[in-house]
Structure 1
Amino acid sequence: MAIEGRCRCGACNYRIEIDTLPAVYACHCHVCQRWSGSAFSLQALVAETALAVTGPVITYEIVTEDRTSTQRFCGTCHTRLYNTNTRRPGVAVVRAGTLDRSEEIVCIAHIFTTYRQRWVTISDAVPSWPEAPPPADFIRLFSG
């Protein structure tokens, strides 16, 4: 079985070779707010090898002192589809809103909640961190 998704205009489509919808997390940092034009972005971590994209994909690289983040967009409508990061080799960060069944996703964590919009309420039952979570704690959420 595979999970599918697409950009807004349908020029780019993707398949993730997994059996169920991936768990997602919400990032409330100002960068994600500006990228998404919303209160937060919803993202799914998937194996890069499980992701296959067709269509006119364009890339944009953000290079900092300790990493390179490569963003992938539809070349037609510029929907941001996913990114990879040299600090997490082999992991694709898919924008959960581009999943065909996005209304079924489950948000299992919130990060950078210090920057959340004050009208956003986060349940005490969902793990959250005011800034970046410790990597081991965060990965543990997605591996079990």
Structure 2
Amino acid sequence: MIAIEGGCRCGATRYSIAVEVMPPVYCCHCTDCQRWTGSAFSEQAVVRTESLTVTGPVVDYIYENRSGAQSHQRVCSVCHARIFNTNSRLPGMAVVRAGTLDAMCTLEPRAHIWVSSKQPWVVLPDDLPTFLENASPAEFLRIVMP
């Protein structure tokens, strides 16, 4: 078992993920992620909620997304960096913002979702799976779970 660590921009909120291997990362190009990150896409890693330990001040922002699922966005209450979220459609799973990992420079995405709304200047590799919107739940979990 290894501990993968990360945290927010200001350092007030830290987390650790206890896993056997580094979780695979995927990129989301949906307009929600573009607005939340202020960038062209977000990098995310799916982990089991019981493997994630968070310390520091966290605020839970809840909203209902287009599919009707309830999403809980956890952000640092000091610098407001988005750390992870859970979703009622993926019980027992947490989606960690991979850009908050201490080892973010070692990440290699395994898939791209919502490419129908990606920025036109973003060029995707030919050898990775891409999906116009979401992948099917089964295919998504096959890609993002180690």
Match of 1:55 in 2: 56
Q: Secondary structure at the match of 1:2?
A: strand
Amino acid at match of 2:125: S
Of 57, 72, 75, which residue of structure 2 is paired with 1:73?
75
| Maintained 8 Å contact 1:43/1:95 | yes
C-alpha distance in 1, partners of 2:105/2:20? 17
Match of 1:123 in 2: 125
| Maintained 8 Å contact 2:23/2:145 | no
Match of 1:27 in 2: 28
Q: Secondary structure at the match of 2:62?
A: strand
Matched, 1:42 2:67: no
Matched, 1:89 2:99: no
C-alpha distance in 2, partners of 1:6/1:39? 21
Of 106, 111, 119, which residue of structure 2 is paired with 1:104?
106
CA deviation digits over 1:29-76, x for unaligned, max 9?
A: 111100100000000000000000000001100025632100000011
Q: After TM superposition, which residue ranges in structure 1, 4 or more long, deviate above 4 angstroms?
A: none
C-alpha distance in 2, partners of 1:128/1:143? 16
C-alpha distance in 1, partners of 2:143/2:75? 27
C-alpha distance in 2, partners of 1:11/1:135? 34
- Residues 13 and 143 of structure 1: is their aligned pair in 2 closer, same or farther, counting only changes over 3 Å? closer
Displacement after TM superposition at 1:19 (Å): 3.2
C-alpha distance in 2, partners of 1:5/1:132? 26
Query: Which stretches in structure 2 are left out of the alignment for 5+ residues?
Result: none
Percent identity, aligned pairs only, is 49
C-alpha distance in 2, partners of 1:142/1:34? 23
Query: Which stretches in structure 1 are left out of the alignment for 5+ residues?
Result: none
TM-score (norm 2): 0.94
C-alpha distance in 2, partners of 1:102/1:139? 21
Q: Secondary structure at the match of 2:19?
A: coil
Displacement after TM superposition at 1:91 (Å): 0.4
Match of 2:7 in 1: 6
| Maintained 8 Å contact 2:14/2:55 | yes
Displacement after TM superposition at 1:143 (Å): 3.5
C-alpha distance in 1, partners of 2:22/2:145? 14
Displacement after TM superposition at 1:79 (Å): 0.5
Displacement after TM superposition at 1:137 (Å): 1.3
